[in-house]
Amino acid sequence: MQFVRTPDFTARIAEELAALRLWFLEIIAWIAEFAPLPRDARLWLQRQMIRIRSDIRFLIAAAVISRLRRVKRRRVPVHRRKMPRGFRWSARRAPAIRCITRGIRLRTLAQMRRVLDAFEFAVDYALANASLPFRGGALVMTHAQEPAPVAFFIAPATEAADTS
């Protein structure tokens, strides 16, 4: 018996929606070249670009994660060695989307359009350059260490001289 997965169109719909938003923003940016926009419109345009940028990053990360093969690993308790004084181990989650999409330029509308046009190339690039696996935490300084006391004595030159 063969199981056939139904195609998931959510990524395609989100990609088309991002492309449509991008097209609309390109028209507004074109208008803004000839007529200055009011402050509210400029702020709205910046918020929309941030939203589109995060949507595109999410699409790329979802495509990369869907291509990764799943490896079953047994849970091994991690032995934390004794931390130096003033440090502790901070368990934290890495921003996975940022780590996966690092190096893909999405600053301008033209760069966003280029990534959407060559989406498969961007996913291949992100898959090749993703810093996987993510670390579970980092060594964090909690407070500065006190300086260690140092023996410092002034002795006359005759007593301190080596006579052997």
Instruction: Render pLDDT for 151-163 as a digit per residue (tens, 0 to 9).
Output: 666 666 666 666 6
Dihedral sign computed on CA atoms, order 43, 62, 71, 103? negative
The residue extents of the domains of the chain are: 10-68+86-144
Structure tokens that stand for 113 in this block: 């359009």
Determine contact, residues 106/115, Cβ cutoff 8 Å: yes
Q: State the DSSP string of 103-151.
A: T---SSHHHHHHHHHTHHHHHHHHHHH---SPPSEEEEE-SPPPPPP--
Instruction: Render pLDDT for 113-155 as a digit per residue (tens, 0 to 9).
Output: 888 888 889 989 998 887 666 666 777 778 777 777 776 666 6
Q: State the DSSP string of 34-65.
A: HSPPPHHHHHHHHHHHHHHHHHHHHHHHHHHH
Claim: this prediction has a pTM higher than 0.75: no
Structure tokens that stand for 146 in this block: 């006190």
AA identity, residue 3? F
